Amino acid sequence: MKVENTTVVYSAEPSLRHPVRLVSGLIHDLARAKELIWSIFLRDLRAQFRQSILGYFWLLLPPVATAAVWLLLQSQKVLRVETEIPYPLFILIGTTIWISFVNFVNAPLLGFNSGKSVYSKLNVSPEAFVISSILRAVLNTLVRVTILIPVFIWFKFTPPATAFLFPIAAFFFFSIGIAIGILCIPFGSLFTDIGNFLRNFIRLLMYICPVIYPIRKAGWFGELMQKNPFTPGVAWCRDLITTGEMTWALPTIVIGSIGLLLSFVAFVFLRVARPHLIARLGM
Amino acid sequence: MASEIAVTCENVSKRFSRNLKKSLFYGLRDVFSEFDLRRGENELPPLRESEFWALKNISFELRRGESMALMGSNGSGKTTLLKVLNGLLKPDSGRVQISGQIGALIALGAGFNPLLTGRENIFINGSVLGFSKADIKARFDEIVQFAGLEHAIDAPVRTYSSGMQVRLGFSIATSVEPKVLLIDEVLAVGDFSFRTRCYGRLAKMMDDTAIIFVSHSAQQITRICRSGLLLENGNPVIQDNIANVILEYNRRNSPETKFRVNYDGALELLGAVVDDTALEFGSPITLRFSIQSEEEYKDCFIRILVRKADEELVGEWNSELHGQLFDIPVGESDHEFTIDSLRLHDGIYRISFFVMDNDRVTHLINAGNVSTIESSGHCYGGVAVQF
């Protein structure tokens, strides 16, 4: 067993006075926590459905249920949405992407809170719980997207070659969700308001994204939809596996890159905040 | 030759708030105070509204091979100090320096998932404690064997008793030898044979490890620690060899005298006193008490109990065995009994007594903690009663 003969200092000094030490400490901790991240991920994954009979069905229920409601409204002519591709396909892709996105926004805080009993007592990096929670969101997304394949076959719909770019689009789109999630941890772990706000806000946000209907072209609502920073991600992800259109590629990449940068900053901020959060989380 | 210093704790202070809303708000303010780069590590920040010092100006040094007990009543700051030493909490002033790998016997089995098997959980808990998968694999059999769980290792942890969970947690956590070991009241669990093995394992580590041990049990503490630090409301009270620290702890935490009379209320204990509370080894002590009774009782006897400060019963003196039976008349009466020679090892002891009716079953009077006595003059051997 390797013995670390390191000396650590815990002092009242502001940690931001040594930014290099702060960032290198973060990287060192994350590198050291690789196995921990993986074992938490496996632990939660194994335990997730061990007490369940239907298992992965519960992952698919939310997008299918949302899609079913809107399909019913459409079929009963309560509303009329016109889409280039069959509407059921349109909406199922939309809700799958959106619910995965929401999953990514919520994952960091959920992961952080789930590890509370461990890192409030032992010197374990809370980032490990956050990252493994994000990994689970990745896996859940993979499962949901895979389920779309039989739906495509059912509608005899052949996706264009651009479908291979889908993972890249999803990566950039979801990274902004992850950034929001991590940024919320310091506040969200102290005050439940943040979690509540996030849930309600995101529910509303869906209606100004092209999830259940395409982007409106005109009017104030159309403008709102087009300026919404989450629109490009949803639109590009769907376009890649349906129409092959690339209009939303650049905005998605730009916003996604900002998301990546923000995620890093958020991790550094979390590290600064960590002892103060633990102090307030109780025993 | 003095070995290398493992833990240095310099003027560590930490404030907490008892008001939840304020505490959360202060937490947020503290997060942003990290951006105030002018703040030094040695200035003591002021207390804000509803705050108190959970720790104030704690300093000590510990070398490898030394072991120190952290003592104090509930809420005195022991766990907070352990958390600061473990790097979980940031001190509001002062600094902690730790050399070498830190191990912690705190929250044994942290990260266990009750639905997963013991086998799966060993790897999870191991990685929580910072061991690699290869390390755990190499020690897996030893861990299971030490915990004595060979038969149950493939059952879900939620089918384990709490003792079994702790045994597994202890076994994993102590499978490596850290340079600094923090222990928080974990040795009280497990059955007798497991506890004995635990002490054996700790004893093996003690030569090369600096141990900081939190416990309320004087017996556990004296087995492991040579020195101690007593905290009271976050302040250091005394830092000395372990005997003196335990003495001081017991002095400050003696329960108050409790009198109970018999069940029908016909008797009342008016007062009881031990003539001299400073007891020289082997000298006599005398207990005097007065009773007010509405009925007459014949041929009663008295049992005087001697307890250690932590309530452990160490001896009993029964007047019947010395042929001393007595009557309780109607009205007020005074009584006096003397134990000719009380041979107690140095320490604090508590005296309580029962007045028994001649049926040998009925407790006429049950008087707990009548007096606390301090024995001195014999400091050899660790056993309370010397004969």
> Percentage of residues in chain B with pLDDT exceeding 70?
94
Confidence at residue A3, expressed as pLDDT on a 0 to 100 scale: 45
A82 belongs to a structural domain:
yes
Please indicate, yes or no, whether residues B248 and B354 belong to a single structural domain of this protein.
Answer: no
In total, how many domains does chain A have?
1
Please indicate, yes or no, whether residues B282 and B319 belong to a single structural domain of this protein.
Answer: yes
Confidence at residue B258, expressed as pLDDT on a 0 to 100 scale: 56
Is residue A183 within 8 A of residue A109, CB to CB? The reply is no
Tens-place pLDDT, residues A228-241: 999 999 999 999 99
Residues in chain A within 8 Å Cβ distance of B52: none
Cβ-defined contact of A280 to B131 (cutoff 8 Å): no
Q: How far apart are CA B344 and CA B384, in angstroms?
A: 6
A14 belongs to a structural domain:
no
Residue type, B90: K
Residues in chain A within 8 Å Cβ distance of B97: 7-10
Cβ-defined contact of A273 to B113 (cutoff 8 Å): no
Can you tell me whether residue B275 is helix, strand or coil?
Answer: coil
Tell me, yes or no, if B39 comes closer than 8 A to chain A by beta carbon: yes
Last residue of a domain, one of B230, B252, B274: B252
- Neighbouring CB atoms inside 10 A of B368's CB total 17
Q: How far apart are CA B255 and CA B253, in angstroms?
A: 6
Residue of chain B minimizing CA distance to A31: B130
B34 belongs to a structural domain:
yes
- Neighbouring CB atoms inside 10 A of A140's CB total 20
Give the pairing of strands B235-241 and B347-356. Answer: unpaired
Please indicate, yes or no, whether residues B120 and B215 belong to a single structural domain of this protein.
Answer: yes
Tens-place pLDDT, residues A186-224: 988 888 888 888 888 888 899 999 998 888 888 899 999
Please indicate, yes or no, whether residues B311 and B222 belong to a single structural domain of this protein.
Answer: no
Cβ-defined contact of A14 to B33 (cutoff 8 Å): yes
Cβ-defined contact of A12 to B90 (cutoff 8 Å): yes
Give the pairing of strands B347-356 and B210-214. Answer: unpaired
Please indicate, yes or no, whether residues B217 and B305 belong to a single structural domain of this protein.
Answer: no
A109 belongs to a structural domain:
yes
Q: How far apart are CA A206 and CA A225, in angstroms?
A: 10
Residue listed under structure tokens 């042929």 = B323
B382 belongs to a structural domain:
no
CATH of the domain at B297: 2.70.50.60
Cβ-defined contact of B90 to A32 (cutoff 8 Å): no
Can you tell me whether residue A3 is helix, strand or coil?
Answer: coil
Q: How far apart are CA B232 and CA B234, in angstroms?
A: 5
Confidence at residue B236, expressed as pLDDT on a 0 to 100 scale: 93
CATH of the domain at B122: 3.40.50.300
Nearest C-alpha of chain A: how many angstroms from B350?
34
Question: Among partner residues B79, B98, B132, which is closest to A8 by beta-carbon distance?
Answer: B98
Is residue B334 within 8 A of residue B290, CB to CB? The reply is yes
B82-91 burial code (b ≥16 CB/10 A, e <16): bbbbbbbbbb
A25 belongs to a structural domain:
no
B279 belongs to a structural domain:
yes
A20 belongs to a structural domain:
no
Can you tell me whether residue B67 is helix, strand or coil?
Answer: strand
Residues in chain A within 8 Å Cβ distance of B122: none
Q: Work out the average pLDDT over B289-303.
A: 90
Cβ-defined contact of B113 to A51 (cutoff 8 Å): no
Residues in chain A within 8 Å Cβ distance of B87: 8, 10, 123, 275
State the DSSP code for B185.
S
Rg value, chain B, Cα = 26
Which of B128, B172, B186 is most worth mutating to test chain A (most A CB atoms within 10 A of its CB)?
B128
Residue type, B283: S
Cβ-defined contact of A14 to B39 (cutoff 8 Å): yes
Question: Among partner residues B79, B94, B107, which is closest to A12 by beta-carbon distance?
Answer: B94
Q: Which two tokens stand for residue B322?
A: 């010395």
Confidence at residue B9, expressed as pLDDT on a 0 to 100 scale: 94
B109 belongs to a structural domain:
yes
A9 belongs to a structural domain:
no
B158 belongs to a structural domain:
yes
Tell me, yes or no, if B310 comes closer than 8 A to chain A by beta carbon: no
Q: What are phi and psi of A279, to 5 degrees?
A: -60, -30
Tell me, yes or no, if B123 comes closer than 8 A to chain A by beta carbon: yes
Question: Among partner residues B24, B39, B94, which is closest to A190 by beta-carbon distance?
Answer: B24
State the DSSP code for B14.
E
pLDDT top residue among B367 and B265? B367
A72 belongs to a structural domain:
yes
In total, how many domains does chain B have?
2
Tell me, yes or no, if B42 comes closer than 8 A to chain A by beta carbon: yes
In chain B, which among 59-118 make CB contacts under 8 A with chain A? Answer: 79, 83-102, 104, 106-107, 110-111, 113, 115-116
Is residue B305 within 8 A of residue B316, CB to CB? The reply is yes
Tens-place pLDDT, residues B50-92: 899 999 999 999 999 999 999 998 889 998 999 999 989 999 9
Q: How far apart are CA B81 and CA B231, in angstroms?
A: 10
B384 belongs to a structural domain:
no
Cβ-defined contact of B86 to A278 (cutoff 8 Å): no
Please indicate, yes or no, whether residues B236 and B295 belong to a single structural domain of this protein.
Answer: no
Residue of chain B minimizing CA distance to A185: B28
Residue type, B344: L
Question: Among partner residues B30, B120, B132, which is closest to A276 by beta-carbon distance?
Answer: B30
Residues in chain A within 8 Å Cβ distance of B84: 10
Please indicate, yes or no, whether residues B244 and B344 belong to a single structural domain of this protein.
Answer: no
Residues in chain A within 8 Å Cβ distance of B24: 190-191, 280
Last residue of a domain, one of B252, B282, B302: B252
Q: How far apart are CA B55 and CA B13, in angstroms?
A: 5
A27-60 burial code (b ≥16 CB/10 A, e <16): eebbeebebbbbbbbbbbeeebeeeeeeeeeebb
Q: How far apart are CA A112 and CA A195, in angstroms?
A: 12
pLDDT top residue among A282 and B338? B338
DSSP lists the bridge partners of residue B355 as: B302, B365
Q: Is A103 left (phi over 0), alpha (psi -120 to 50) or beta?
A: alpha
Q: Work out the average pLDDT over B329-347.
A: 89
Confidence at residue B379, expressed as pLDDT on a 0 to 100 scale: 67
Tens-place pLDDT, residues B193-218: 888 888 888 888 888 899 999 988 77
Confidence at residue B218, expressed as pLDDT on a 0 to 100 scale: 75
Give the domain extent around A257.
35-281
Cβ-defined contact of A12 to B115 (cutoff 8 Å): no
Residues in chain A within 8 Å Cβ distance of B130: 32, 36, 124
Residues in chain B within 8 Å Cβ distance of A121: 83, 88, 106-107, 110
Please indicate, yes or no, whether residues B234 and B328 belong to a single structural domain of this protein.
Answer: no
Confidence at residue A107, expressed as pLDDT on a 0 to 100 scale: 94
Confidence at residue A220, expressed as pLDDT on a 0 to 100 scale: 92
Nearest to A275 by CA among B386, B302, B83: B83
> Percentage of residues in chain A with pLDDT exceeding 90?
42
DSSP lists the bridge partners of residue B230 as: B71, B238
Question: Among partner residues B94, B95, B132, which is closest to A35 by beta-carbon distance?
Answer: B132
Confidence at residue A1, expressed as pLDDT on a 0 to 100 scale: 38
Nearest C-alpha of chain A: how many angstroms from B352?
37
HSE-up of residue B201 (Cα within 13 Å, Cβ side): 23
Is residue B88 within 8 A of residue A11, CB to CB? The reply is no
Q: Which two tokens stand for residue A51?
A: 């007490």
Give the domain extent around B332.
258-376
Tens-place pLDDT, residues A127-140: 999 999 999 999 99
Please indicate, yes or no, whether residues B204 and B302 belong to a single structural domain of this protein.
Answer: no
Give the pairing of strands B102-105 and B180-184. Answer: parallel
A30 belongs to a structural domain:
no
Residues in chain B within 8 Å Cβ distance of A183: none
From the number of C-beta atoms within 10 Å of its C-beta (0-12, 13-18, 19+), residue A73 rates as middle
Cβ-defined contact of B35 to A187 (cutoff 8 Å): no
Residues in chain B within 8 Å Cβ distance of A13: 39-41, 95
Residue of chain A minimizing CA distance to B107: A121
**pLDDT greater than 50 at residue A2:** no
Confidence at residue B1, expressed as pLDDT on a 0 to 100 scale: 43
Please indicate, yes or no, whether residues B186 and B326 belong to a single structural domain of this protein.
Answer: no
**pLDDT greater than 90 at residue A111:** yes
Please indicate, yes or no, whether residues B214 and B162 belong to a single structural domain of this protein.
Answer: yes
Q: How far apart are CA A88 and CA A107, in angstroms?
A: 28
Residue of chain B minimizing CA distance to A271: B31
Cβ-defined contact of A11 to B94 (cutoff 8 Å): yes
Nearest to B75 by CA among B198, B234, B200, B186: B234
In chain B, which among 132-191 make CB contacts under 8 A with chain A? Answer: 132-133, 135, 176, 179
Least confident interval from A67-71, A125-129, B148-152, B256-260: B256-260
Is residue B173 within 8 A of residue B103, CB to CB? The reply is yes
Tens-place pLDDT, residues B90-142: 999 999 999 988 888 887 877 788 888 999 899 888 888 888 888 899 999 99
In chain B, which among 214-243 make CB contacts under 8 A with chain A? Answer: none
Q: How far apart are CA B188 and CA B216, in angstroms?
A: 10
Last residue of a domain, one of B205, B232, B252: B252
Please indicate, yes or no, whether residues B203 and B310 belong to a single structural domain of this protein.
Answer: no
